[in-house]
Chains A and B, each alone.
Chain A
Amino acid sequence: MGYECRSQDHRLSRRQLLGALAGAATGSLGLADEVRAQNKQVLFLWLDGGMSQLESWDPKPRTEFGGPFRAIPTTVPGIHISELMPHTARQMQHLAIVRGMCTRDENHSTGVPLIQRGDPRNRGVTYPYLGAAVSNFIAPANATLPPYIHIKPYGGGFQYGDGGFLGPRFGALALGDGQPPIHILRPETIAEDSDAARNRLRAEANRRFVEGRRGEEAAAYDYSFEMAQQLMRRRELFDLDRVPAAVRDRYGRHPLGRHLLLARRLLEAGITFVKVTSFHWDTHADNFHYHIDLMNQFERPFAALIQDLADRGMLDHTLVIAMSEFGRTPKINEKLGRDHWPAAWSLALAGCGIKKGVVYGRTSDKGSSVADGQVDIGHLFHTIFAALGIRNPRYRVRGQPLPAAHDDMAPIREVLL
């Protein structure tokens, strides 16, 4: 298991690492190989700060806390979502909405990692983020591209911490503003043989650096460089100018539109887990004014992505998850904002292993609590693993078996095929 890696691991190839270590991590190598062979993929859309459930998946027009927006019908009779999501409403036949999320943490700083790690309570170890966990379980051993890519605003780099106890190698290769790691490219002013010499020098420096240091983290430096190099062999993926203008317009030219279009292309190229983060959903003031703009930036490209994945037959093997760390308060504050509300919120799923056109869970008339079908993040992690065909997912850390999600929770069967 990666948590206990010794130095010989560092000389293993990435393919060997993913195959052997991850297989051992599941404790069931045969099952892991079977799942890996199915080339399942995940698109994880993270709306950081907390999207309002009342202005998206769970509208309550003309109620005490409902806000000024109306609900609109979708392609699935009886299911209504906010009028701010007209394009998504036309894709409802592909979606499953979970309206009964009830989690504990009301803070961003602790809530984000807690939710993305699946909130495994009182385990005494740092669990991997969802992208690392899924990559660990299902990334094909013969993949030629990084298994876990994170498209995000601002800067990029390698996010070692995402690996948790799986080790830094399972971190995310982050692409700042969706840009490729261009520093990997050989500048035209440097000849090929000079570049090769540079790389040999770098490798030697890395080797010396690794010596005498704790194995995993030091080895991850080389690994992340290798991953970036692999990705740059496919740098045409990043050239959105190759995409017809009409398609780019469907996604929108704003950052989230561009990032979701890039995510589709990376999924098409075979990346196992693509995470797309959009920041600034924390609408403590002018929630309604802001959500007009925010939802437009989210729901148009989201609907375009769902439609494109469906048209390409990719939803059969690609799981799509759109969520935040919590929802927003039903109560409207003095600045016309909504604050943090983990007690009753919503998310959406689509694709691989997920029922189409369903809603699970119901919030109270006020939207302040879950009235029926209450689930926690542990239920969601079980659901994600089950949708991907990962049965009884477990880790082994220092010889100790650990559940990959709360062992007192179970998948949400009502949204699973």
Chain B
Amino acid sequence: MNDAPVTTVDPTRTWEAKTIPVPRQLLGCRISSCGEYVVAGDFAGAIHRWHLASDRHTVLAAHSSWVKALVFHADRRRLYSTDYAGTICCWNYADEEPQPIWTLRDAHEGWIRDAVVAGDLLVTAGNDARIRVWSANNGSLLRELTGHGCAIFCLAVHPDGRTLASGDNHGVIKRWDLTTGRHERDLNAATLWHSPEATMSLTGVGGVRSLAFDRDGATLVAGGMATTTSANFAQGTPAVLAYDWAAGSARPSLRIPDPFEGFITSLAFHPDGFLIGAGGGVGGALWFWRAGEQDPFASLRGLRHLRETHLHPDGQRLIAATFEARGQGGNGRRGNIAEYVDNAGAVKIYSMTPRPSPPRR
């Protein structure tokens, strides 16, 4: 990508600066705290690592199932990865050929959906409805937080470093004191859950798919799907709910005026104060809201499905794990079965700085 030293961040001029194709589909991605490495987890259990300056690609191999949650420690050394078989691995991510420093198998029963780091604590959660707090140093289990009644999709650490928010499939957000494990409060995000009865399905659809705190921790936002017309197709409109964290009360929801079908898969507050929301469904989109405003001041639509996005520490770039279609899709079989190939993934880097002018000839 073009690393020209442009410092002006202007989301209205966001553009796709780079695409790194990956042969397998991706679930999640992260940029390292040092800003030098991008990692993404794929369907084969591989973690792809790229050194941004050199484009060097390395595969970190230790997982046997889909890798979803990746999180960097603030120490600029360690990376934690989790998979859908309940395994956690800790890596020195900048090593030439990284190998796990330690591995926890069956850390959860089934899928681990999200992981966050709070100081020397690693916090994980998943389909077993449990939050587990581990020593980020050696992986020893410190405590378990129970209370969710269904799969937990996402976690967010408050800027105070000791309070946690967790969001689940049924639209419940719980507030926890990480130092004691005490459950402090529930926030109602029930509008993000569409029950089997409401959707005439066996499973329902929705849940809290993403969480983020603003910089001073006064506001928590939760992403998901506001309405749905079909659970089986996960058809519906994206939604961002907002909460006063101290009071535990709802604030006006943010609006998404554009026609779009899917979830808000990621949320992040920019250091300048605006909120970035990523949509994944039929295609993808990015929306940008200023603090205190309900309508987005910028958007970028017509993107690939955004499985996850993560803000670069420079505040100028956004990293995305995207879906890339390959070959025949949809119902039934057509053509030569030998050409029936899997869909793929890509890591895309979106720049929120003005696109550089082409060089003059």
- Report yes or no: A368 in contact with B202, Cβ–Cβ below 8 A: no
> Closest approach, in angstroms, between the C-beta of B76 and any C-beta of chain A?
31
Tell me which residues from 154 to 203 in chain B have a Cβ below 8 Å from any Cβ of chain A: 200-203
**Contact mask for chain A residues 271-314; partner B; CB cutoff 8 A; 1 contact, 0 none:** 00000001111111110011011100100000000000000000
| A256, B203: Cα distance in complex, Å | 12
Which of chain A's residues has its CB closest to B284's CB?
A334
Chain B residues whose C-beta falls within 8 Å of the C-beta of A330 in the assembled complex? 340
Contact between B342 and A331, CB atoms less than 8 A apart: yes
Q: Is A4 an interface residue (CB 8 A)?
A: no
**A294-B202, A335-B305 given as contacts; is B233 within 8 A of A285 (CB)?**
yes
Q: Is the CB of A340 within 8 A of B234?
A: no
Q: Check A32 for interface membership: any CB of B closer than 8 A.
A: no
B342 touches A280 (CB 8 A): no
Q: List chain A residues, Cβ under 8 A from B329.
A: 331, 333, 339
Establish whether residues A368 and B337, one from each chain, have CB atoms under 8 Å apart when the complex forms.
Answer: yes
- Find chain B residues with CB under 8 A from A297 CB: 202
Q: Let me know if A165 is at the binding interface, CB within 8 A.
A: no
On whether A282 and B281 interact (CB within 8 A), knowing A331-B340, A331-B342, the answer reads no
Give the interface segment out of A63-71, A129-137, A405-413: A63-71
Q: Is A52 an interface position by the 8 A CB rule? A: no
Q: Is the interface of A mostly helix, strand, loop or mixed?
A: loop
Q: Kindly supply a per-residue 1/0 record for chain B positions 22-34, scoring 1 wherever the CB is within 8 Å of any chain A CB and 0 otherwise.
A: 0001000000000
Known contacts A68-B65, A333-B343, A334-B325, A280 near B331 by CB under 8 Å? no
Within 8 A of B (CB), among A330-344: 330-335, 337, 339-343
Contacts of B235 in A (CB 8 A): 285
Interface of B is mostly: loop
What band does the interface of chain B fall in when counting residues whose beta carbon is under 8 Å from A?
35 or more
Are A278 and B202 also in contact (CB < 8 A) when A331-B343, A334-B282, A342-B332 are?
yes
Q: Is B66 an interface residue (CB 8 A)?
A: yes
The answer to whether A280 and B201 have CB atoms under 8 Å apart is yes
Chain A residues with CB under 8 A of B66: 68
B342 touches A106 (CB 8 A): no
Distance between B208 CB and nearest chain A CB, rounded to angstroms: 14
B232 near A283: Cβ-Cβ < 8 Å: yes
Interface residue A329 (Cβ < 8 Å from any Cβ of B):
yes
A65 proximity list for chain B (CB < 8 A): 342
Query: Which residues of A lie under 8 Å from residue B127 when comparing CB positions?
Result: 292
* Interface membership of B323, Cβ < 8 A: yes
Contact yes or no, B232 A280, CB < 8 A: yes
User: Are B332's CB and A368's CB within 8 A?
Assistant: no
Whether a CB of chain B sits under 8 angstroms from the CB of A366 is: yes
Per-residue contact bits, chain A 320-361, to B (CB 8 Å; 1 contact, 0 not): 000000000111111101011111000000000000000000
Q: Contact at B234–A286, with CB atoms within 8 Å? A: yes
The CA of A49 and the CA of B200, in the complex, are separated in Å by 13
**B64 to nearest A CB, angstroms?**
7
Which residues from B are CB-within-8-Å of A49? 232
Cα distance A334–B282 in the bound complex, in angstroms: 7
Cα–Cα distance between A62 and B24 once the two chains are bound (Å): 12
Using Cβ atoms and an 8 Å threshold, which residues of chain A touch B234? 284-286, 335, 337
With both chains docked as a complex, state the minimum distance between the C-beta of B133 and any C-beta of chain A, in angstroms.
24
Q: Which residues of B contact A (CB under 8 A)?
A: 25, 43-45, 64-66, 84-85, 110-111, 127, 151, 200-203, 205, 231-235, 262, 281-283, 304-305, 323, 325, 327-333, 337, 340, 342-343
The 5 closest A-B CB pairs, nearest first, are A285-B234, A106-B332, A340-B331, A68-B84, A334-B323
- Residues on A facing B (Cβ under 8 Å): 49, 62, 64-65, 68-70, 106-107, 256, 278-286, 289-290, 292-294, 297, 329-335, 337, 339-343, 366, 368-369
Task: List 4 additional A-B contacts (Cβ < 8 Å) besides A107-B331, A335-B262.
Answer: A278-B202, A280-B201, A292-B110, A335-B282
Sample (22) of A-B pairs whose CB atoms are under 8 Å apart: A64-B342, A68-B66, A68-B84, A70-B65, A106-B331, A106-B332, A107-B331, A278-B202, A280-B200, A281-B202, A286-B205, A289-B151, A293-B203, A294-B202, A294-B203, A297-B202, A332-B342, A334-B304, A334-B305, A335-B262, A335-B281, A340-B331
